[in-house]
């Protein structure tokens, strides 16, 4: 899921609170529109990465543009992003930002994504340990076996691998993070809710309302939350399981904060089981497509992984440098949310420019990933760049206090996925992942990822 496709319909521009030393104004008509349906081509507001980088070279890394009827400030290079991440009190992520309003309306005021200030700090302190690699390390064998069996069941059958990975990730997390008997039908229901919910983030406000007021979506949402609420109700009424959810309910220490209430635990179950699986599957789809295109990397990885076991990832991927390099390059190239909207909480100076309080800002966290000044031949997929000393770190999961909560989960599932695929399967008849309408019969439908492939088992 990406914020790249924010609606750009023309409307009257709302001027920001201008100050004497404002950033230069970009005319969006000077950019090249992105015409491809490829899910692998970088997408920034519907324009190509290269044309944004050319604009950055002309105007500098901090600029303004009229977007969605509002003049907004754009942060377009790594240093500008770092400056923003290092001053968390200068920024607001919740309402009235576009994403803040979205999460508030769909998930409620206690959902961490739309929180700021003390409420966000409390939620993050309580939740973050549940999403780190440490929380999943004890379940590596279960997750590995879920992927091994699930992918083996797909052999010799044409599938949309993006969709199948979403289902397998949810199945694995429902056996580890929240140990709850979940049928295949329930897993499909939860994935349908997650995709139809989060895909609305790409739509305009009017289209979001239309999309999320459909009776079939409301029914799926109600059924999904019925599952989440049922799990929490059982736990609060005495059911005990040795899992991450239980440690949230009865923490060894509460880090000085009030423990999570029932409504927050319902949101936590959503986060633990299904939130973000589509984003991880997008990364995995790009990664596996590139694997299918390089017999050299297939051979190198098979040699490195010949003695691989899931337990070998308990300390991370440092013992598998080729595996790590391939994943780091996928994270650089295929980050799911390349733009983050935020609002200034006070007058600030950034990049030498004065930016007034209450200014809407778009932080292009993904654009530096494609800048030749930061990465040689940056638009080319090249895992070998990560085997060189002093490689420039990418920021696929954002940064600062709003660093993606699911980064640890992603960095467990991606290496397991790649290792199982390399060791056990060939990808045949693979077509490049592309964006297609999620519900073609709905006029305002957002897109989803289609990755057609046939897996063949290796003897």
Predicted confidence (pLDDT) at residue 16 exceeds the cutoff of 50: no
Give pLDDT tens digits for 63-105: 999 998 999 999 999 999 999 999 999 999 999 999 999 999 9
Residues 6+ apart with CB under 8 A from 293: none
Q: If you count them, how many residues does the chain have?
A: 459
The predicted model gives 305-325 an average pLDDT of 94
Three-state helix/strand/coil letters over 336-376: CCCCEEEEECCCEEECCEEECCCCEEEECCCHHHHCCCCCC
Q: How confident is the model at residue 427, as a pLDDT? A: 95
Q: How confident is the model at residue 254, as a pLDDT? A: 67
pLDDT band, very low/low/confident/very high, at 10 (cuts 50, 70, 90): very low
Residue keyed to tokens 């709003």: 402
Taking the C-alpha atoms of residue 108 and residue 229, their distance in angstroms, rounded to an integer, is 14
* Cα angle 409, 411, 416; round to 5: 100
Give pLDDT tens digits for 424-456: 999 999 999 999 999 999 999 999 999 999 999
Q: How confident is the model at residue 132, as a pLDDT? A: 84
Predicted confidence (pLDDT) at residue 2 exceeds the cutoff of 50: no
Cβ burial, residue 393 (10 Å; 0-12/13-18/19+): exposed
Residues 6+ apart with CB under 8 A from 265: 232, 235, 236, 245, 248, 249
Q: How confident is the model at residue 253, as a pLDDT? A: 67
Q: To 10 degrees, what angle do helices 140-152 and 161-173 make?
A: 150
pLDDT band, very low/low/confident/very high, at 407 (cuts 50, 70, 90): very high
Give pLDDT tens digits for 141-156: 999 999 999 999 999 9
Q: How confident is the model at residue 336, as a pLDDT? A: 86
What are the tokens at 323? 């595996």
What torsion, rounded to 10 degrees, do the Cα atoms 312, 161, 146, 230 define? 120
| Range with the poorest average pLDDT among 112-126, 207-221, 262-276 | 112-126
The predicted model gives 272-292 an average pLDDT of 97
Q: How confident is the model at residue 8, as a pLDDT? A: 42
Q: How confident is the model at residue 252, as a pLDDT? A: 73
The predicted model gives 26-43 an average pLDDT of 95
pLDDT band, very low/low/confident/very high, at 265 (cuts 50, 70, 90): very high
The predicted model gives 16-20 an average pLDDT of 54
Q: How confident is the model at residue 160, as a pLDDT? A: 98
Structural contact between residues 152 and 426, judged by C-beta atoms closer than 8 angstroms: no
Q: How confident is the model at residue 4, as a pLDDT? A: 44
The predicted model gives 53-63 an average pLDDT of 98
Strand-pair partners of 284: none
Give pLDDT tens digits for 375-403: 999 999 999 999 999 899 999 999 999 99
Q: How confident is the model at residue 134, as a pLDDT? A: 84
Predicted confidence (pLDDT) at residue 266 exceeds the cutoff of 80: yes
Q: Please state which architecture CATH assigns to domain 25-457.
A: Orthogonal Bundle (1.10)
Phi, psi of 159 (to 5 degrees): -140, 165
Q: Tell me the pLDDT of the chain averaged across its residues.
A: 93
What are the tokens at 380? 């080319």
Comparing CA positions, the residue from 160, 193, 214, 170 lying closest to residue 429 is 160
Give, for 246, the enclosing helix (H) or strand (E): helix 244-249
Could you tell me how far CA 295 lies from the centroid of its own chain? 28
Predicted confidence (pLDDT) at residue 420 exceeds the cutoff of 90: yes
Predicted confidence (pLDDT) at residue 12 exceeds the cutoff of 90: no
pTM: 0.94
Taking the C-alpha atoms of residue 324 and residue 7, their distance in angstroms, rounded to an integer, is 35
Predicted confidence (pLDDT) at residue 6 exceeds the cutoff of 70: no
The predicted model gives 320-338 an average pLDDT of 96
Taking the C-alpha atoms of residue 417 and residue 433, their distance in angstroms, rounded to an integer, is 17
pLDDT band, very low/low/confident/very high, at 19 (cuts 50, 70, 90): low
Sign of CA dihedral 94, 99, 105, 106: negative
Predicted confidence (pLDDT) at residue 458 exceeds the cutoff of 60: yes
Predicted confidence (pLDDT) at residue 319 exceeds the cutoff of 60: yes
């Amino acid at each position: 899921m990406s914020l790249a496709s924010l609606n750009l319909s023309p409307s009257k521009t709302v001027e920001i609170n201008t100050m004497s030393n404002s950033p230069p104004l970009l005319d969006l008509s000077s950019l090249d529109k992105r015409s491809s349906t490829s899910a692998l081509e970088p997408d920034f507001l519907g324009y190509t990465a290269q044309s944004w980088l050319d604009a950055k070279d002309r105007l500098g890394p901090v600029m303004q543009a009229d977007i969605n009827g509002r003049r907004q400030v754009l942060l377009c290079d790594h240093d500008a992003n770092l400056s923003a991440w290092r001053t968390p009190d200068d920024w607001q992520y919740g309402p009235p930002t576009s994403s803040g309003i979205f999460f508030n309306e769909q998930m409620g005021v206690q959902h961490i994504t739309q929180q700021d200030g003390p409420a966000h700090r409390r939620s993050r302190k309580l939740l973050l340990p549940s999403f780190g690699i440490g929380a999943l390390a004890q379940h590596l064998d279960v997750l590995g076996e879920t992927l091994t069996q699930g992918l083996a069941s797909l052999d010799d059958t044409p599938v949309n691998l993006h969709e199948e990975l979403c289902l397998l990730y949810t199945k694995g997390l429902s056996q580890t993070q929240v140990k709850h008997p979940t049928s295949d039908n329930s897993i499909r229901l939860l994935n349908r809710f997650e995709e139809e919910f989060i895909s609305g983030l790409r739509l305009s406000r009017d289209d979001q309302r239309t999309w999320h007021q459909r009776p079939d979506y409301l029914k799926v949402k109600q059924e999904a939350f019925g599952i989440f609420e049922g799990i929490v109700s059982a736990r609060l009424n005495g059911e005990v399981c040795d899992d991450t959810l239980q440690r949230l309910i009865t923490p060894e220490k509460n880090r000085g904060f009030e423990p999570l209430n029932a409504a927050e635990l319902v949101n936590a179950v959503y986060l633990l089981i299904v939130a973000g699986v589509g984003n991880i599957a997008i990364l995995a789809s790009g990664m596996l497509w590139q694997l299918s295109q390089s017999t050299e990397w297939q051979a190198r990885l098979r040699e490195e992984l010949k003695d691989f076991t899931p337990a070998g990832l308990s300390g991370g991927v440092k013992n598998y440098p080729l595996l790590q390099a391939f994943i780091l390059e996928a994270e650089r190239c295929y980050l799911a949310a390349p733009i983050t909207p935020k609002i200034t909480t006070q007058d600030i100076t950034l990049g030498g420019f004065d930016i007034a309080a209450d200014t809407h800002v778009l932080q292009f966290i993904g654009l530096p990933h494609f800048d030749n000044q930061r990465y040689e031949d940056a638009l080319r997929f090249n895992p070998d760049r990560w085997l060189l000393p002093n490689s420039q770190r990418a920021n696929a999961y954002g940064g600062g206090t709003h660093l993606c909560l699911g980064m640890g989960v992603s960095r467990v599932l991606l290496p397991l996925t790649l290792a199982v695929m390399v060791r056990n399967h060939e990808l045949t008849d693979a077509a490049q992942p592309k964006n297609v309408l999620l519900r073609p019969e709905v006029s305002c439908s957002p897109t989803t990822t289609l990755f057609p492939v046939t897996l063949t088992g290796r003897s």
